[in-house]
Structure 1
Amino acid sequence: MDLRVGVIGTGAIGEDHIRRLTHTVTGANVVALSDINVQNARRIADKYGAKFYATGEEVIAAPEVDAIVIASWDPTHAHYVLAGIKAGKFVFCEKPLATSANDCKNIVEAEIAGGKQLVQVGFMRRFDRGYRQIKAAIDSGRIGEVLMLHCMHRNRVPGPKHTTEMSIKNSVIHEIDVLRWLLGEDYKTAQVLLPKSSRLAEDGLRDPQIVLLETQSGVRIDVESFINCQYGYDVQCEVVGETGTVRLPDPANMEVRSGGAFSYEIFPDWSDRFIEAYDTEFREWVDATKRGIVAGPSAWDGYVACVTADACTEARETGAIVPIAIPRRPAFYKK
């Protein structure tokens, strides 16, 4: 029997998830949706044969809906996730889980009180083939103990109304989650350096930024965030161990030798670069949900990412090295 999915938020990423669940992932069917842009949401509902609801709360309460995908405006995430938990339905929430650590904590507490894990957070990099290869190399001991990581997250141009704060909370938060997953440990401190700003940055936007993280065991991480790089969407990661290094592979693209130059395509944005990861993410979410479990990034992972992002934001504003205070993980979330 197909998993009957309701989607809240039918903007660019929401519509892409509806397409993915309909045409790419087997075992799921989008039966309901909602968005504040009623005209566009009705168009998408007609296109995919789903029922339009005026509010996200109605989607969650709909008896024909088994599970929820939340792809709405970030500040609405916590409300809809909590409503999904109260309804006892599995929830896939695009990152961030919430816009504040306190809201994330409320979600964690509600899920624990309900006695069952229901929430997965959309950190799709854990499902990327390259990052999974890196994790396998680390876990096997092939490069010895990890000492350092050098990372880069570049966007061709920022999205609309991008702020200095969003560079960490909406961009670097992907590194915050995936690097913690790669290493299997939490962070200890955060520091943010502000190099000379690009002249192409909008008024008041500090870009690029360099985030420095230290893990509990002393691994040092540097992450360059540059959202006005102009040439394409470029994500890099190198892990330095005691006996070797491992580097995130570039996506497989045709290599061209022509006109005295050697070149290959760099994707223009995240949706092309991580399309396979998104497909894998939803395929595994549907399979796990039908088995009644959460197998991907949990509400606890979303909470830890938010706590860390808040510390990075404080570090940028104060210029200080900020300690990252993460509570002990509840036994409820231990796998």
Structure 2
Amino acid sequence: MSELLGVAVLGAGHMGADHIRRLDRGVSGARVAAVADPDTRRAEEAVAGIEGVRVHEEAEAALDAPGVDAVLVASPGPEHEEALLASFARGLPVLCEKPMVPDSAGAWRVVEAEARLGRRLAQVGFMRRYDAEYLRLKALLDSGRLGRPLMLHCTHRNVSSPPGFTSSMLVDSSLSHEIDAARWLLDQELTAVTVLRPRPSATAPQGLVDPQFVLLESEQGALVDVEVFVNCGFGYQVRCEAVGESGSARIGEDRGMQVTGGGDTRLEVPQDYLVRFADAYDRQVRAWVDATRSGGVTGPSAWDGYAAAAVAEAGVRSLEGGGRTPVVLAPRPQLHAT
């Protein structure tokens, strides 16, 4: 493909606006062709200074806009299924932010729709697979130098939760990245989830179960524990330690800028996921654009999006009902066979 890839961006909120900027300034081979958001004023602000972009209130109008070759979905999760199916109906490749679809039934409908097409069109935005540290850890585990992986110890902390954030969203929104990262790092499906409730932090909004401690079990007996704390107050931190039979490796140590002044030295902690994973987002979108321009699809698949949704659903059931909850997955389609 010699022409620039024309991308319709669905959603112009925090994530969508960042992707619009990235496509316009940080990724070669692509351009923003259309943007859809119910808040058209917000969309107009996001595309200010970008020539040739059409702003629409409705997603399907953006998909049908002239010059659209592919779609980047950054709208709220409940809107993703409709956007994906509409893109498939038009034969448009899609990069869909996580969660692909919040519920496993809807995610499975996406998997089935893609399977009926007989070719992959969807890539799911689990950007940690493109982070330099995660890539190094994955390569180390695959090399066998740590022996068989036995455990992953993970931390996921946010400064504060947005308005309307619920206890279940710690599992089906925040934890979804750890779910996918664990499946990818271990190259195994997850089979059970247990969510424990430490005493709530005084910094958490009234009624929010925060933090949570999650135990994930893999099909080959590895264990993954995750601390999810979305109102820690001091910074955005994501860490992972892999423990194998003959060694361990840890990523995500604080690596911010060191500032000295006023008689002390401090290390700046990232306050936002767009700061901590800026390079990973860049790599992810570049890989998607390059693959799409060459007629292919790469990265996390619709199956990965479905599996993450199924594990998260089991986690929400554990949170609400207590105890260990099995994960039930449908048979994997041949299109997504490993």
Q: Verify the 8 A CA contact 2:44 2:55 in the aligned structure 1.
A: yes
Tell whether 2:41 aligns with 1:39. yes
Q: Verify the 8 A CA contact 1:45 1:51 in the aligned structure 2.
A: no
Tell whether 2:286 aligns with 1:267. no
Give, as a single letter, the amino acid of the residue that structure 1 aligns with 2:301.
Answer: S
Q: Distance in 2 between matches of 1:270 and 1:190?
A: 25
Scaled by the length of structure 2, the TM-score of the pair is: 0.96
Give the aligned partner of residue 299 of structure 2.
296
Q: Which moved more, 1:34-43 or 1:203-212?
A: 34-43
Scaled by the length of structure 1, the TM-score of the pair is: 0.96
Tell whether 2:8 aligns with 1:2. no
Shift of 1:259: 7.2
Written as runs of structure 1 = structure 2, the 5 A alignment for 1:21-40 is 21-40=23-42
CA distance 1:55–1:258, change in 2 (3 Å): closer
- Identify the match of residue 165 of structure 2 among 162, 185, 188: 162
Written as runs of structure 1 = structure 2, the 5 A alignment for 1:140-219 is 140-219=143-222
Q: Verify the 8 A CA contact 2:39 2:57 in the aligned structure 1.
A: no
Give the aligned partner of residue 78 of structure 1.
81
Give, as a single letter, the amino acid of the residue that structure 1 aligns with 2:98.
Answer: K
Q: Verify the 8 A CA contact 1:32 1:45 in the aligned structure 2.
A: no
Identity %: 43
- Identify the match of residue 234 of structure 1 among 237, 245, 254: 237
Q: Verify the 8 A CA contact 1:251 1:273 in the aligned structure 2.
A: no
Tell whether 2:139 aligns with 1:136. yes
Q: Verify the 8 A CA contact 2:11 2:37 in the aligned structure 1.
A: yes
Gaps of 5+ in 1: none
Q: Which moved more, 1:194-203 or 1:248-257?
A: 248-257
Give the aligned partner of residue 305 of structure 1.
308
The alignment partner of 1:177 has SS state of helix
Q: Verify the 8 A CA contact 2:40 2:56 in the aligned structure 1.
A: no
Give, as a single letter, the amino acid of the residue that structure 2 aligns with 1:324.
Answer: V
Give the aligned partner of residue 67 of structure 2.
64
Number of residue pairs the alignment of both structures matches: 335
Q: Which moved more, 1:318-327 or 1:28-37?
A: 318-327
Shift of 1:47: 2.6
Q: Distance in 1 between matches of 2:230 and 2:123?
A: 27
TM-superposition CA deviations, 1:29-82 (whole Å, max 9, x none): 001111000112123344322111231001112241000011112111110110
Aligned residues: CA RMSD: 1.5
Q: Distance in 1 between matches of 2:254 and 2:85?
A: 37
The alignment partner of 1:48 has SS state of coil
Q: Verify the 8 A CA contact 2:196 2:213 in the aligned structure 1.
A: yes
The alignment partner of 2:49 has SS state of helix
Written as runs of structure 1 = structure 2, the 5 A alignment for 1:94-113 is 94-113=97-116
Give the aligned partner of residue 12 of structure 1.
14
- Identify the match of residue 326 of structure 1 among 326, 329, 332: 329
The alignment partner of 1:157 has SS state of coil
Q: Distance in 1 between matches of 2:27 and 2:128?
A: 18
Give, as a single letter, the amino acid of the residue that structure 2 aligns with 1:70.
Answer: V
Q: Verify the 8 A CA contact 2:159 2:233 in the aligned structure 1.
A: yes
The alignment partner of 2:279 has SS state of helix
Give, as a single letter, the amino acid of the residue that structure 2 aligns with 1:129.
Answer: A
Shift of 1:262: 5.4
Tell whether 2:112 aligns with 1:117. no
Q: Verify the 8 A CA contact 1:311 1:323 in the aligned structure 2.
A: yes
TM-superposition CA deviations, 1:244-284 (whole Å, max 9, x none): 00101436433456777654211011110000000000000
